[in-house]
């Protein structure tokens, strides 16, 4: 059974601060706060049922860079009973273990999914794991979105459809941080290709965008499992509580 649609508020970390990139460009980062734990607490207070955290420094370098901030977020979330998924630079079992030790519920592997798919399969056998598919014009990008992989997002999604991962986190890099609207057409196509739960990311600007994503369906009637929302929340386009109410997040589809 496909889980209910969830809204995942995003906390992207760069140098210990909460930021949003524009189309994945590290030189076009906007800082929204220097206390990630306080931001996590605010999202939890508004009814978040998951938090989505990305270590942007680690995504670029491959080395953990914001573990203190992630630990603080995980602590706040645990006190509120809210699970946390974290991605960015998770390219070894040790890196994943460090996050799980901090109280992270699920890790997201992106570059490693392309470079070392056996690592993903092995971790998924004993831990909650998602695969991050960050695509630019249909091509999956790696190493902090800085390099193309030469592989199509649908082909990579198919490769992980039956290996035990919890979900695919699919980001349209060209839309990420732009408030330009999500790629509903592309996500609909991807849904028809794989049965695995899919979380959409990139471009959400309005409550209508979220409602449109929540309405996307496979032929069998199942839909997206949720959407990651970042800049729209930080810019005040809408409140997280309103997003949850508008999509029926937390309920069964």
Q: Are strands 167-172 and 129-136 parallel, antiparallel or unpaired?
A: parallel
Catalytic residue among 134, 172, 176, 183: 134
Helices 36-45 & 67-80 angle (0-180, nearest 10): 20
Interhelix angle 184-193/207-215, nearest 10 degrees: 20
Would you state the structure tokens that stand for residue 188, as one six-digit string?
């609909």
Alpha helices in the chain (DSSP H): 36-45, 56-61, 67-80, 93-101, 111-115, 117-124, 153-159, 184-193, 207-215, 231-234, 240-247
Catalytic site residue 34? no
Give dist(CA 164, CA 10) in Å, integer: 24
Q: How far apart are CA 197 and CA 206, in angstroms?
A: 23
Computed from CA positions of residues 226, 231, 233, 238, in that sequence, does the dihedral angle turn out positive or negative? negative
C-alpha to C-alpha distance for 23 and 225, rounded to whole angstroms: 23
User: What is the C-alpha separation between 144 and 252, in angstroms, rounded?
Assistant: 34
For the question of residue 101 being annotated catalytic, the response is no
Q: Which residues carry out catalysis?
A: 12, 134
């Amino acid at each position: 059974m496909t889980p209910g649609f969830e809204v995942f508020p995003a906390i992207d970390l760069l140098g210990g601060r909460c930021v949003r990139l524009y189309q994945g460009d590290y030189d076009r980062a906007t800082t929204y706060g220097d206390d990630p734990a306080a931001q996590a607490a605010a999202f939890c207070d508004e009814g978040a049922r998951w938090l989505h955290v990305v270590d942007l420094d680690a995504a670029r370098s491959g080395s953990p860079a914001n573990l203190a901030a992630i630990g603080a977020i995980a602590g706040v979330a645990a006190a509120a009973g809210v699970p946390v998924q974290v991605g960015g630079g998770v390219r070894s079992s040790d890196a994943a273990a460090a996050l799980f030790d901090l109280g992270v519920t699920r890790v997201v592997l992106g570059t490693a999914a392309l470079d070392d798919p056996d690592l993903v399969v092995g971790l998924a056998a004993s831990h909650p794991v998602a695969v991050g598919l960050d695509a630019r014009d249909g091509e999956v990008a790696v190493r902090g979105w800085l390099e193309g992989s030469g592989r199509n997002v649908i082909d990579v999604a198919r490769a992980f459809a039956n290996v035990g991962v919890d979900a695919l986190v699919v980001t349209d890099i060209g839309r990420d941080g732009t408030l330009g609207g999500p790629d509903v057409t592309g996500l609909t196509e991807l849904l028809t290709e794989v049965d695995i739960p899919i979380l959409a990311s990139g471009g959400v600007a309005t409550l209508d965008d979220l409602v449109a994503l929540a309405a996307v369906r496979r032929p069998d009637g199942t839909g997206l499992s949720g959407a990651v929302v970042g800049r729209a929340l930080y810019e005040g386009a809408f409140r997280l509580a309103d997003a949850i109410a508008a999509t029926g997040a937390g309920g069964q589809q």
